[in-house]
Amino acid sequence: MLSHKSCRFAVATAALGILGAGFAFAQSADDPMRDCEGLYDAFNNYSTTLDDPDKDEAKAMAEDGLNRCKNDKHDEGILQISKAIGIMHDGKPSKK
C-alpha cells in the first residue's frame, strides 16, 4: 500500500508528464502566430509577478513584438518579446 506522501508524488509526476506532453504537442504545430501569442501570454504572466523598474519598457517591447508577429515578421516579434522577458529579471534598472 502506498503512503499518502508517495501517492501525492505519483499524482504530481503524472500531472507534469501530461503538461509536458501538451507543451510538446503545441510546439509541434507549425503556427508561428500561435508561438508569438503564447510567448506574449507568458510575458504577461511573468510580468505580473515582478516589481521591476523596467516593467513599462518591457511591456512596450512585448507589445511591439506581438505587432511584428501580426505583420508576418514572426522571428523579429519572437525575439522582441524574448528581450522584453529578459530585461525584467532582477528588480534593478537595465543598463542602457
CA 23 – CA 89 distance, rounded (Å)? 24
Q: Based on the fold, state whether residues 18 and 39 are members of the same structural domain.
A: no
Looking at 1-96, which runs of residues are DSSP E strands?
none
Range of the domain at 10: 1-29
Burial 27-65 (b: 16+ CB within 10 A, else e): eeeeeeeebbbbbbeebeeebeeeebebeebbeebbebb
Looking at residue 25, what is its pLDDT?
A: 46
Q: Based on the fold, state whether residues 8 and 35 are members of the same structural domain.
A: no
Tens-digit pLDDT string for the chain (96 aa): 445 444 444 433 443 444 444 444 455 457 889 999 999 999 999 888 888 899 999 999 999 999 999 999 999 999 999 999 888 877 778 776
Q: Based on the fold, state whether residues 49 and 82 are members of the same structural domain.
A: yes
